[in-house]
Each structure stands twice: as C-alpha cells, then as structure tokens.
Amino acid sequence: MFGKMGLRGKMLLSICGVVLLSYSVSISYITYNASKMARTEAEEKTLEIASNHGQMIKSELDRAMDVVRTVAHALEGIKMGETAPDRDQINAMLKNMLRQNPDFIAIDTCWEPNALDGRDAEFIGVAGHDDTGRFVPYWNRGTGSIEVEPLVNFDTEAWYQDPKKTGKEIITEPYVYPVGGKDVLMATVVAPIMVDGRFLGIVAVDIALDTFGKMMEKVKPFGTGYGYLVSSGGYTVAHPVKEMVGKNVEEIITGKDQAPFLRALKNGEIYALEREAVKGGQATFQVLAPITVGKTDTPWAIGIVIPFDKVMEGAVHLRNTSIVIGLTGFLLLVAVVWFIAIVLVVKPINGVVHGLRDIAEGEGDLTLRLPVNTQDEIGQLSSWFNNFIEKLQRIVGDLAGQAGAMEGASGALLTVAGDLSTRADNTSERATSVSSAAEEMTTNINGVAASMEQTSSNSDMVATAAEEMTATIGEVAKQSETARSISEKAVRQAGDASTKMARLGEAASAIGSVTEAISEISEQTNLLALNATIEAARAGEAGKGFAVVAGEIKALANQTADATRDIKARVDGIQNITGESVADIEQVTHVISEVNDIVGTIATAVEEQSVATREIAANISQASQGIQEVNGMVAQSSVVITEITQEITEVNTNATDISESSSQVHGSAEELSSMALTLKQVVATFKI
C-alpha cells in the first residue's frame, strides 16, 4: 500500500510517523521520569513531614520519659538517703509534676511491698495506698481536678510487670484504664526504680490517646493528606478516623504490603508504599517513620498518607503540558511538512512528471520548460530537465532535417533507378534491332557469296551480279551506318547510365552519411537518457517517474538506432548493386565501342566492295580476281557480322541484367522512402 501512495503521502506518513513516534517516546519517557521524580520527591517530602511531626511526637513522649526518669532517679536518691523517705513529700512531688504538665492525664509510682520504707502496714486505708498499705499513688485529672487514688491491676498489667522483669524503660501499647471512674484509652511511659540493681518499683506517666489525636490533627500534608500514629505492636494510637484508633494495623494494611510494613514497624525502619483505591476511595502514597522514645526498644511510628493524585499532580501537569506542546508541535510540523511536500517538492516534481508525460504520451511538446525558482535538488532537477529537453529538442530537430533529406535522397534514387531501368530496356530493344540487322546482313552476304559463285561459273551474269552486289553493298552500307549510329547512341546512353549510376552511388553514400548522423544522434539520445536515469536515481523516490520516462526515451533511441542500422544495411546493398551496375554498364559501353569499331570496319569494307564493283564494271578482265577478293571479304564480313551478332547478344543480356538491378535498386529506394516517411512521422510527434 505504501508503494501505491504519492510522494506527498509518503513524506507525510514517513516524517510525521517518525516524529509522532518520537513525541510519544519522549512524552512517555518524560512522564515516566516525572512520575519517578514525583514519587521520589513525594517520598522525601513526606518523610520530611513524618520526621518533623514524628519529632514533635517524640519530643512529647521524651518529655514524659524525662519526667518519669527524673522522678525515678529522685526516688532512688531518697531511698538511698540516710533519712527515711517521706510518702507525703513524694505525693507532693508527683502532684506538682502533674500540675506542671497539663498534657499528662496521670502520673504515678508503684512500689514493691515494704520496699519504700518498710512501713506499709501503717498506711492501710490511707489515700494512695492499697489494702495492704503498699505505696501506689495514682495522681490524675479524671474528675477535672488533680486527685489521687490507688493504682489497680498492677500485678497483671505490662506497664508494671515488664519493667519489673527487664529493669528497662518502656512505653506501653495502647490500653484502657479507669481514670476518675471512666475508662480512658491511653499509653504509658515507665521508668523503673532501681537501687543497687534491685527493682523497687516504677514511676509512670499516662497520656490519653486523645492528646496524640489532637497533635496529629495538625498533620495535613499537601492540604488533603493526613497522619496517623502506631505503636510498636501495631496498634493505632492516633488516626483522623476515630473508629481506627485502637485497632491493629493488620486490619488496615492488608495484602502484600502488610508483612514488610509490620517488619519495618518492629525494626524501627522507614517504609514507603503505594496503596490502590479501595471501595471508591483514593489511591494513596504512604511513608512510615520510626519514633524511638527514650531508651526503649519498642519504637512507635508515625505514618503520613498523601492522595496519589497529589503526589502525581506535578508529573501529570508536566505530562499534560508535554502532550499539549507535543501535539501543537506535531500539528505545526504536519503543516510545515505539508507545505514543503506540496509547494517545494511535489509541485515541482509534478511539473517534471507532467512535462515528461506530455512528451511520452501527448503531443511531445519539446518547447516546454520548467521554472527554476530554487537552487536545491528540486531546482537542479528542473534545471537538468530543461537542459535535457533542450538537447532532445535539438536532436529531434536534426532528425527532422535528416528525415527530409533522406526522403529527398530516396526520391532521387527512385528517379535514377526508374531512368536506368528505362534506358536499359531501350538498350535491350536497340541491341535486338542491331542483332536482327546483323542477321539480315549475314543473309545478304551469304547471298552475295552465292552470286559470286555464280559469277565465277557464268561470266555473262557478272554484270547482273555486279549490279545486285552493288545494291546489296549499298544496303549493307546503309545497315552498317544504321548499326554504327545505334552503337554510338548506345555508347552515349551507356555513358549516361554510368553517370547516373555514379550519382546513385553518391546519393547512396549521402544516405549512408545521413544514417551515420542518425546513429550518432540516437547514441547521444541514449547517453542523455542514461544521464537522466542516473540523475533520477540520485533523486531517490522523487525521481522514479522521471526514470521511467528516461527509460521510454532510451527505448525510442534504441528503436531509432535499429531503424538506422536497417536503413544503412539497405543503403549498403544499394551501393553494392549500384557499383555492380556501373561495372556492367562500363562493360556494355566497352562492348558497344567494339561493335562501333566493327561496324566502322564493315563500312570501310563495304566502301572497298563498292570500289571493287566499280572496278569490275570498268575492267571485266579482273572480274574473276575481284570476285574472289570480294568472296574472301564477304566471308570475312560474314565472320565479323557473326561476331557482331554475338556481341550484341551479350549487350542484350547485360542490358537485361541492368534492368533487373535497376528494379532491385528501385525496390530498395522504395523501402528507403518508406523508412524516411516513418522517421518523419516519428519526428512529427514532437513539437519542436
């Protein structure tokens, strides 16, 4: 299908196809890299946001840890002091710490039995003590004011049992604890009280998860994102969706991302993931950043969630902008290529094609010239086309002139051949007449011989015989004169025929020159066609039409060369036949000259016979001798006449051959005339 398209379509399809493919690849590459960069940038920015807000959460938790650590160290100091610890003083310190930190919902200390001062039994029933008098004050804001109540569940809860087992600081998983008669979801930071490596108790600060929720409400990355807080065990500490608080992330993060998410959470590693839209929601991009509190080995983590369309907003904008710019550039390129293809390429080439088509199929207008407006390959093609047509115009003009000359030469050759045939026929007829006269002369001479025999036997008949011989000799003289006149005329006609045959040979030579000129012109045309084919090949696809026409011109030149060679062969045949005819006519001329000499001899002999006859009349005494002489001369005359007859017969044969050769020359001349007419018709198809 591509091969059937025009040059304009091929240029548009090729160039625009390549450019469109390049634009598509470029836009795809730009979009891919922009998306990759957007993800990287979003990850970095989200990680920065997570780090900043995580640092804020960490600061809050570290502050709580610093408080419990400070109080624990203070209590350790009191325990190791020389004076007994004062429980009221410790309660006052705890109350004051809670008052100074409004974000804390409670602060407490829990001692092992009799570990503080060994006086637990004395404090049974006192506020901040359990039923055994164990010191377990729990200072809290449950009622709106700072109150104290005894701790409960410390024998089973992790916030007490874990530090007791490990002797390390901890931060608990979210749990529910009754504060002021109400259950509160909270997390606790705990520092152990260690004296001489022995666990004596703990100091703890409770922080309601609502506190973290209020802090996370401020986290709104890119305006539509949000943040959440998870504990080391995977429980949601803070989330903008209240129903999510307290749930394990295993219920939230599912699928292939769950395992690496939990692993990163437990190991305190940064983790980024993309989550597809679920139930009509938005696809999101999330980053998890660890939060390590104090000296604990159970890091929490802050998660930052950004809608994926916000992450890709810049990349999408860049992609859309690239597409708009690319399409605009592509349409502009299509317009430019269209203009170039139509105005600068196809239109000039169509001019060349139409010109060559007119030459090949139409009137053959060789006066056509293309305008040359540029110096590029198209302009050069038009220029070389004009040069080629100009040379072709000169060649066809020369062919037209040579065709006319050939037609004239063939006409002259026809005339010469016809004249030669006519003269050969006349020569044959006259030779026949001379032969008849010679035969009659032979008969008369035989009669004279018989009379001379009778004269020898009968002298009385001498006078009569002399008179008869005189009459016969007169007739012989008359016939001899006639034969001589015919011979002289034959000599002149043979000379004229020889001259005309020579002219015929010259005309044939001229025709040979014409055919050689035509052959050279056809070779030059063939060479020009070859050059045009080469130029068309250099032009590539644009020159295919030009190459086809050049091939047609080359074929026409080859046909002209073939016709020229045929004409040359026929002209050579005419020249050969003409040469043979000239040689035959020269031979005829020679024979007729001999006949003329013989006839002259006969005339002389007849004159001598006339003198002898007169002498016979004057001197009868010498009659016998004269008769014998006459008889001998008559015999000689008979021989001569016989020879004349034979020579005239040969002249007649040669004249017949000349007539046949003239017919052949006439036929060849007609063929030459037909070829000249054909060449003239071919040339006439061109307008020069």
Q: Which of 316-330, 442-456, 642-656 has the highest mean pLDDT?
A: 316-330
Q: Say if pTM beats, i.e. exceeds, 0.85.
A: no
Q: What is the CATH number of the domain that holds 424?
A: 1.10.287.950
pLDDT of residue 17: 78
- Domain assignment present for 365: no
Strand intervals (E) in 145-197? 147-150, 170-171, 175-179, 182-195
Structure-token pair, residue 358: 């007119």
What DSSP assignment string belongs to 539-572? TGGGGHHHHHHHHHHHHHHHHHHHHHHHHHHHHH
Measured distance CA(582)–CA(578) in Å, rounded:
6
Residues 80 and 175 in one domain: yes
pLDDT tens digits along 155-208:
999 999 999 999 999 999 999 999 988 999 999 999 999 999 999 999 999 999
- Domain assignment present for 338: no
Residues 306 and 383 in one domain: no
pLDDT of residue 549: 63
Measured distance CA(515)–CA(234) in Å, rounded:
109
pLDDT of residue 2: 59
pLDDT of residue 533: 72
Could you tell me which of 568, 598, 583, 573 has the C-alpha nearest to residue 676?
Answer: 568
Residue of higher predicted confidence among 367 and 588: 367
Residue of higher predicted confidence among 242 and 108: 108
Measured distance CA(571)–CA(579) in Å, rounded:
12
Could you tell me which of 206, 207, 224 has the C-alpha nearest to residue 109?
Answer: 206
Residues 272 and 391 in one domain: no
Number of domains in the chain: 2
Relative to beta strand 284-291, strand 226-230 is: unpaired
User: Is 34 within 8 Å of 318 (Cβ atoms)?
Assistant: yes
Q: How far is CA 2 from the centre of its chain?
A: 10
pLDDT of residue 122: 94
Percentage of the chain with pLDDT > 70?
72
pLDDT tens digits along 245-299:
888 888 878 888 888 888 998 888 988 887 765 555 567 888 889 998 888 888 9
Residue 216 has pLDDT above 80, yes or no: yes
pLDDT of residue 331: 87
Listed residues 310, 342, 359: the one ending a domain: 310
**Arithmetic mean of pLDDT, 609-636:** 63
pLDDT tens digits along 371-412:
777 777 777 777 887 888 888 778 878 877 777 777 777 777
Residue 465 has pLDDT above 70, yes or no: no
pLDDT of residue 20: 79
Structure-token pair, residue 514: 């014409």
pLDDT of residue 338: 79
Sign for the CA dihedral angle at 25, 29, 32, 34 comes to negative
- Domain assignment present for 393: yes
User: Is 398 within 8 Å of 517 (Cβ atoms)?
Assistant: yes
Residues 500 and 640 in one domain: yes
pLDDT of residue 364: 67
pLDDT tens digits along 65-105:
999 999 999 999 999 988 889 999 999 999 999 999 999 99
pLDDT of residue 44: 79
Q: Which residues contact 574 (CB under 8 A, 6 or more apart)?
A: 413, 504, 508, 511, 665, 668, 669, 672
- Domain assignment present for 350: no
Residues 306 and 430 in one domain: no
Measured distance CA(54)–CA(49) in Å, rounded:
8
Residue 485 has pLDDT above 60, yes or no: yes
Residues 402 and 297 in one domain: no
- Domain residue limits at 88: 10-310
pLDDT of residue 477: 61
Residues 292 and 160 in one domain: yes
Listed residues 276, 310, 344: the one ending a domain: 310
Residues 678 and 570 in one domain: yes
Q: Is 437 exposed, middle or buried (0-12, 13-18, 19+ CB in 10 A)?
A: buried
Residues 460 and 608 in one domain: yes
- Domain assignment present for 51: yes
Structure confidence at residue 139 as a pLDDT band (50, 70, 90): very high
**Arithmetic mean of pLDDT, 360-368:** 68
Residues 295 and 418 in one domain: no
**Arithmetic mean of pLDDT, 404-433:** 72
SS3 236: strand
How far apart, in Å, are the Cα atoms of 39 and each of 253, 273, 365? Answer: 20, 10, 71
Please, what is the angle between helix 209-217 and helix 17-80, to 10°? Answer: 140
How far apart, in Å, are the Cα atoms of 59 and each of 55, 152, 294, 622? Answer: 6, 29, 10, 189
Residue of higher predicted confidence among 638 and 176: 176
- Domain assignment present for 352: no
Structure confidence at residue 449 as a pLDDT band (50, 70, 90): low
How far apart, in Å, are the Cα atoms of 528 and each of 392, 393, 525, 555, 619? Answer: 8, 12, 5, 12, 96
- Domain assignment present for 336: no
Residues 105 and 230 in one domain: yes
- Domain assignment present for 427: yes
Listed residues 310, 342, 369: the one ending a domain: 310
Residues 78 and 158 in one domain: yes
Q: What is the CATH number of the domain that holds 21?
A: 3.30.450.20
Q: Which residues contact 222 (CB under 8 A, 6 or more apart)?
A: 306, 307, 310, 311
